[in-house]
Amino acid sequence: MYLDPGDRPSLTPQLAMRVAILGGIALLAFALVFFRLWYLQVLSGDTYRAEANDNRIRQIKVQAPRGEIVDRDGRVLVENRVALAVKVSPKLLPEGEAERRGLYRRLGRVLDMRPRGIERRVEKQLRELPYAMATVKQDVDQHVVAYLLEHRADFPGIEPERVFVRQYPQGQTGAHLFGYSREISQAELDSGRFPEAAMGDIVGKQGIEAEYDRFLRGRNGATRVQVDALGRVRGQQLAARQPEQGRQLRLAVDLDVQQAGQAALGGMAGGFVAMDVDNGEVVGLGSSPSFDPNFFSTPFTTAEYRALESEEAGNPLLNRAIQAGYPAGSTFKLVTAAAALEGGLITPDDVIYDGGSVRIGDIDFINAGKTVNGPVALRQALSVSSDVYFYLLGQKADSSGDGLLIQRWAHKLGIGRETGVDLPDEQVGRVPTPKWRNDWFKRGLTDRQWTVGDNVNFSIGQGDLLTNPLQMAIAYAAVANGGKVVKPHLGLRIEDSAGRPLQELSSAPARRVEIAPEHRQAILEGLHSAASDPGGTSTPVFETFPLEIAGKTGTAETPQGDQSWYVALAPYPNPRYVVAATIERGGFGAETAAPAVRQILTALFDVDDSGQIVSGTALD
Amino acid sequence: MQATSLGATVREFRDHSGPRFVRIDVLLLLAVLGLTACSLYTIGEATRDDVAGSPHHFLYRQIVFVTVGICLMLFISRVDYTRLREWKAQIYGVLIGGIVLVFALGSITRGSRRAIELGFFELQFSELGKILLILALAAVIVDRVRQIGGRQTTAMVMLLALIPALLVISQDLGTGMVYISIALVILFVAGTPWTHFAALGALAATAAAIVLIGAPSLGVDVLQPYQQDRLTAFLNPSDNPAKQGYQQIQSQVAIGAGGKTGRGDQATQTKLDFLPEHHTDFIFSVVGEEFGFMGAALVLSLFALLIWRTLRILTMSKDLFGTLIAAGVLAMLMHQIFINVGMTIGIMPITGITLPLMSYGGSSVIATFIALGLLQSVHAQARETAFAKGRDLVI
């Protein structure tokens, strides 16, 4: 209402134009700013508000301890220890390269680490998870942490954190069962094997720790806090979820048996299994030489790890009870006997003359030590371990039907195939067949084709057979329990941390085989005789043992030397447990494996075994 | 002057019966006071936790600055600005001398020599320099008003502006650019031919090419590296979220998170320090976060009012000197408002520049109020003259 252009002072048209242009620019600029504000605040407000909240809210993971592992009587096999880790907070780390280097140098002196190594470790973790604390060293001594805290100014960004470290109080005992757990790797994260695990979580990598990881791994807790731009916590904790410890796992393992087995092997390379013949519960399973799994709870170098895999050290990481492959020697005669009986090649009472050797094809097959056993039927053949008796069965099997009778029965009884045990990476071994050898011959891997001699050798567990103590235990158990091929398992029960059962871990038998009761009886009697009658191959070892058992020695010839075997079923006549042991370069079965099995049986049945353990000298 | 209508009566009352200060532009004053109130409230909110144990540290200091500033503004508005024309040589001398003095004595703040430590506050002379430059350039052009179409005039004005501008740019890119804007707008309003601006544009493009591309490739960094980073970071803030882009992203997040009505006490971007410089360069982001679109729109509206009144005063001045002073102040205000707000919302590069009347800081506040005082003086003188000539004048 005051606009009255006529009253204006000299406003030239040029000035009016230029003022209008300036006004237009201002208008345009305001319009632009308003439009942009409308876009940011009204249209995208929710997105930015979420981003602002992301900025200020930090979720801090609280590591959940893994579940404990106990033996069947509740004795602790694997537990957790609270340790202090030194971590570094990326937000508080010095900006400058030189200052960081200086920090790593000082830290290296205190933690006894190489500064370069610290740098690599920290940078790698920060690359993967830019805002999370990076671990410099796990399990640091209390007084070192105290020193770091006292000299905070010299160590910007360095903070201690309580972590749980896996502890294996039994040391080398059972090391092959438990395996180990470590921080999840990028490859494992990508593989999807651990769907609920996140970067930085501890997961089972080997053994039981890996097999039952989903039960053992706890649920991490988390606290949500508000932080400022420097990452300092401001205000109260917003929310917290308590970490939940993983489930407790009760194993079928009996610590006493496990210790006895480990002691019985006495550092010699070998493996043992003790298993319930009816339900496949493994009460002991071990390998020697062993290692201390606590090693895996500490940082280690590649060289140290290589040593655990080296042949010179006896490859301690190898679980010889399930991952090795050996010929079974005469312990395999149980399989040949079952095949021959069920396949109708013989009856238990058919007598064969054992003259110490037999000529098959153009090769003389001889008894160990050229012993002449005279006329033998099945029971006695098992008792004295007559090779000739079984050579002839091998020859007969080769020439009847498709010639694969023994192979089929080996397969049925679980030799050369997966046992399904709840441990990772078992090796299946090998049952030699004509097809296999002829294939190898074609590919130039062997110098000859399959002959009847191969089957003859196979019938007494020599030659190309590769098996392991667990497979042999399953085969013996199947005969002992009347035909159930059990699926061995170590896990017994999932429990809460107080030991209350949550889930039973029994597993149904893998399959059944038909074994006539009189055949089973004959075989068991033969095995009993072998361990108790005069002339029995393991009688010297077991005649002073307080329990009646049935058992078979085996001596497999390998390029490295004689592989000593023994498989026992106890108590006789109604076996409950099968115990199998094998020792590399252990000499004859009765020499080392049988005494080892006796020690295991002592622990298993908790008998007072004061009798002197003698090594047998039977040449088988 | 016959009272023939109600409008005339009102005019009569305003023009003849009111106290002298009513000759100042009331709407401009209201816009200034409104912005000052917004500024004090926002600074009070934003800095409550900044100085431990002293929640009002920045607020109290700003109140002192504003009080001094308002007094200065009211005083200057009653002074006849035309007298300043005669002192143009001295004014320009003080401008150059002051900038050089800051160079010599300058304490190091944020790695640049920009301020003189005065105990109570740091005097950033380049802020006051803007006013001195406006006065000096306006006076020079008025003297050469007959040769306004000549190349010598344009060249001389640009030279007079570039000397202090380049000196300031060497320490503070953002403020130095304001000097150039001031010179350009004063020339524009004075009536410099379009061809001259085209030539200046071409020169500027060549210079920019040499500074940003040519010289670095020869190994000579004319701009300091951080200045170059700042100029280019806004093009792609997420490229380098740790450094330059960080401020830009945090500022956008703050403003966006404010939404329609703001987050008030929940303004975590500000309160938890994610927003850098939240009481100085990024105060507009605080407004955006704490008071939302409504708050930001209010502040922008007050700025629009400020610009409109400045443009009006420019057109009504009694003489060319007043017009050019108003043009210089307009340039200063528009440049700072749009560059500052633009950088907080991610459409302008980040250059350290204050938001007039909103940002915390003594030098900036006092320089702005002096400029506003000059505007009011131009307005008051225009009305005085109109009254003397017996003519009515629009408010």
Structural domain boundaries of chain A?
59-251, 255-309+323-605
User: Do the Cβ atoms of A54 and A212 come closer than 8 Å?
Assistant: no
* Distance between CA atoms of residues A221 and A199, nearest Å: 14
User: Do the Cβ atoms of A351 and A358 come closer than 8 Å?
Assistant: no
* Distance between CA atoms of residues A594 and A544, nearest Å: 13
- Give yes or no for a cis peptide into A573 (omega within 30° of 0): yes
β-strand B107-109 against A158-167: which pairing, if any?
unpaired
- The SS3 of residue B219 is coil
User: For residue B229, what are its two tokens?
Assistant: 């980073």
- The SS3 of residue A425 is coil
Looking at residue A387, its pLDDT comes to: 92
Please state, as a whole number, how many other Cβ atoms lie within 10 Å of the Cβ of residue A528: 23
User: Do the Cβ atoms of B25 and B376 come closer than 8 Å?
Assistant: yes
User: What's the gap in Å between the CA of A9 and the closest CA on chain B?
Assistant: 6
pLDDT < 50 positions in chain B: 1-19, 21, 109-112, 241, 395
Q: Which amino acid is at A91?
A: K
Looking at residue B106, its pLDDT comes to: 58
User: Can you list the alpha helix ranges (DSSP code H) found in chain B?
Assistant: 6-12, 26-46, 57-77, 88-105, 125-143, 151-169, 173-190, 194-209, 215-217, 225-233, 244-258, 268-271, 283-316, 320-344, 362-388
Q: Which of residues 119-158 of B touch A (CB under 8 A)?
A: none
Distances (CA, A) of A73 to A68, A77, A81, A249, A577: 14, 11, 22, 12, 18
- Write out chain A residues lying below 8 Å of B323, CB-based: 15
Closest residue of chain A to B184, computed from CA coordinates: A22
Looking at residue A454, its pLDDT comes to: 92
Q: Hey, where are the domains in chain B?
A: 24-191+307-388, 193-221
Where in A130-196 does DSSP place strands (E)?
134-137, 158-167, 181-183
Confidence of residue A67 (pLDDT cuts 50, 70, 90): very high
**Which residue's entry shows tokens 């992203």?**
B249
pLDDT greater at residue B32 or residue A133: B32
* Distance between CA atoms of residues A360 and A377, nearest Å: 20
- The SS3 of residue A58 is strand
Q: Which fold has domain A255-309+323-605?
A: Beta-lactamase (3.40.710)
Distances (CA, A) of B233 to A130, A487, A520: 22, 66, 85
State the average pLDDT for chain A: 88
Q: Which residues of A31-63 are buried (b: 16+ CB within 10 A; e: fewer)?
A: eebbebbeebbeebbeebbebbeebbebebbeb
Q: Do B189 and A18 touch (CB under 8 A)?
A: yes
3-state secondary structure labels for all residues of B73-127: HHHHHCCCHHHHHHHHHHHHHHHHHHHHHHHHHCEEECCEEEEEECCCCEEEHHH
Closest residue of chain A to B297, computed from CA coordinates: A34
Alpha-carbon Rg for chain A in angstroms: 36
pLDDT tens-digit profile of B174-199?
Answer: 899 999 999 999 999 999 999 999 99
Alpha-carbon Rg for chain B in angstroms: 22
pLDDT greater at residue A237 or residue A3: A237
- Write out chain A residues lying below 8 Å of B385, CB-based: 9
Closest by CA position to B164, among listed B196, B192, B127:
B127
Q: Which of residues 174-233 of B touch A (CB under 8 A)?
A: 185, 188-189, 191
Looking at residue A161, its pLDDT comes to: 83
Closest residue of chain A to B324, computed from CA coordinates: A15
| DSSP code of residue A326 | B
Helices A387-399, A405-412: inter-axial angle, 10-degree rounding = 110
User: What's the gap in Å between the CA of A24 and the closest CA on chain B?
Assistant: 11
Average of pLDDT values for A270-282?
A: 95
Question: Which residue of A9, A11, A49 is in closest CB contact with B259?
Answer: A49
Average of pLDDT values for A120-147?
A: 80
pLDDT > 80? residue A172: yes
Give the distance from CA A519 to its chain's centroid: 37
* Distance between CA atoms of residues A168 and A76, nearest Å: 9
β-strand A248-251 against A69-70: which pairing, if any?
parallel
* Distance between CA atoms of residues A382 and A385, nearest Å: 5
Q: Do A40 and B274 touch (CB under 8 A)?
A: no
pLDDT > 90? residue A341: yes
On the 0-12 / 13-18 / 19+ scale of CB atoms within 10 A, A147 is middle
A14 touches chain B (CB under 8 A): yes
B254 touches chain A (CB under 8 A): yes
Looking at residue B8, its pLDDT comes to: 45
User: Do the Cβ atoms of A490 and A71 come closer than 8 Å?
Assistant: no
Closest by CA position to A564, among listed A603, A537, A533, A602:
A537
β-strand A282-288 against B107-109: which pairing, if any?
unpaired
B268, B291, B301, best to mutate vs chain A, most A CBs in 10 Å: B268
First to last CA, chain A: 125
A39, A46, A48, A56, best to mutate vs chain B, most B CBs in 10 Å: A48
CATH class, A59-251 region: alpha beta
* Distance between CA atoms of residues A50 and A52, nearest Å: 5
Confidence of residue A194 (pLDDT cuts 50, 70, 90): confident
Length of chain A counted residue by residue? 620
Q: Do B272 and A18 touch (CB under 8 A)?
A: no
Least confident stretch, A71-80, A146-155, B377-386: A146-155
Looking at residue B357, its pLDDT comes to: 95
User: What's the gap in Å between the CA of A115 and the closest CA on chain B?
Assistant: 25
- The SS3 of residue A142 is helix
Q: Which of residues 277-316 of B touch A (CB under 8 A)?
A: 288-289, 292-293, 296-297, 300, 303-304, 307-308, 311, 314-316
Confidence of residue A33 (pLDDT cuts 50, 70, 90): very high
Average of pLDDT values for A331-358?
A: 93
Average of pLDDT values for A12-18?
A: 90
Q: Do A30 and B304 touch (CB under 8 A)?
A: yes
* Distance between CA atoms of residues B252 and A227, nearest Å: 19
β-strand A69-70 against A357-360: which pairing, if any?
unpaired
Distances (CA, A) of B144 to A267, A384, B320: 108, 132, 11
Closest by CA position to B31, among listed B393, B265, B367, B369:
B369
A10, A22, A93, best to mutate vs chain B, most B CBs in 10 Å: A22
Looking at residue A319, its pLDDT comes to: 92
Closest by CA position to A348, among listed A527, A559, A110:
A527
User: Across chain A, how many H-helices and E-strands are there?
Assistant: 21, 23
User: Do the Cβ atoms of A589 and A566 come closer than 8 Å?
Assistant: yes
User: Could you tell me what percent of chain A has a pLDDT over 70?
Assistant: 95
Q: Which amino acid is at A190?
A: D
Q: Do A14 and B392 touch (CB under 8 A)?
A: no
A37, A91, A232, A234, best to mutate vs chain B, most B CBs in 10 Å: A37
Q: Which amino acid is at A150?
A: E
User: For residue A368, what are its two tokens?
Assistant: 């160990």
Where in A176-232 does DSSP place strands (E)?
181-183, 202-204, 221-227
Helices B173-190, B225-233: inter-axial angle, 10-degree rounding = 70
pLDDT > 70? residue A450: yes
**Which residue's entry shows tokens 């006896």?**
A314
* Distance between CA atoms of residues A80 and A76, nearest Å: 10
- Give yes or no for a cis peptide into A571 (omega within 30° of 0): yes
A20 touches chain B (CB under 8 A): no
Confidence of residue A129 (pLDDT cuts 50, 70, 90): low
Closest by CA position to A181, among listed A215, A144, A221:
A215
